[in-house]
Chain A
Amino acid sequence: EPEVTQTPSHQVTQMGQEVILRCVPISNHLYFYWYRQILGQKVEFLVSFYNNEISEKSEIFDDQFSVERPDGSNFTLKIRSTKLEDSAMYFCASSEGVGLGYEQYFGPGTRLTVT
């Protein structure tokens, strides 16, 4: 069964450093998302991406965040200058379409620890 994959599974970085989290969405899916979950808190939407453009973003997704589809398979989230409060699980998701009946499938996540 096709699945979303993410690398690395765990990333430790120092405050102020740049990190890139990588995702390979399900191959026939056209819509890609990033969510995050701070330990013990709700899953929060960051951004959605379609046709090489951001289609929607939340207040969390400020100028220190960016997304890119550098090739036909990868989808990346870059955090330019990490802060302690960026420590969280970051989930990539993808869906075949939008609207009623289109589910979002989540990858296993990357645990980001900022020290």
Chain B
Amino acid sequence: QKEVEQNSGPLSVPEGAIASLNCTYSDRGSQSFFWYRQYSGKSPELIMFIYSNGDKEDGRFTAQLNKASQYVSLLIRDSQPSDSATYLCAVKGYAGNMLTFGGGTRLMVKP
């Protein structure tokens, strides 16, 4: 059974700080890793994806992947109150196209 684990939070950071969100996955054959943001009552909104070891930056967001440790993270620089949401980690395996989601981490950015 493929598992994707996230700390449910809430993670509270002050405005302007760096928020660090973490995710671990059980299937060593996983190929692609996605971060989605979900506001309460809304659908998942894609932030970015990564599939190579190392860092990938997109604006204020940086995704980090370590396949040996089966660990993926998302850094949000200069956090804003509007970043307050639940952040979902999703993993796609080697075969098939289904996404397996973690339970999400609730981020609260305090002004």
> With A100-B31, A100-B32 known to touch, is A45 a contact of B98 (CB < 8 Å)?
yes
Query: B96–A56 contact, CB under 8 A?
Result: yes
Contact-size category for B: 20 to 34
Inter-chain contact total with CB atoms closer than 8 Å = 57
Number of interface residues of A (CB under 8 A): 26
Check A48 for interface membership: any CB of B closer than 8 A: yes
Q: Which among A13-21, A64-72, A74-82, A102-110 touches the partner chain?
A: A102-110
> With A91-B44, A101-B49, A103-B34 known to touch, is A42 a contact of B98 (CB < 8 Å)?
no
Check B100 for interface membership: any CB of A closer than 8 A: yes
Contacts of B96 in A (CB 8 A): 48, 55-56
Per a CB cutoff under 8 Å, which of A41, A56, A100, A105 touches B98? A56
Chain B residues close to A by CB (< 8 Å): 31-32, 34, 36, 42-46, 49, 51, 88, 90, 96-104
Chain A residues close to B by CB (< 8 Å): 31, 33, 35, 41-45, 48, 55-56, 58, 89, 91, 95, 98, 100-109
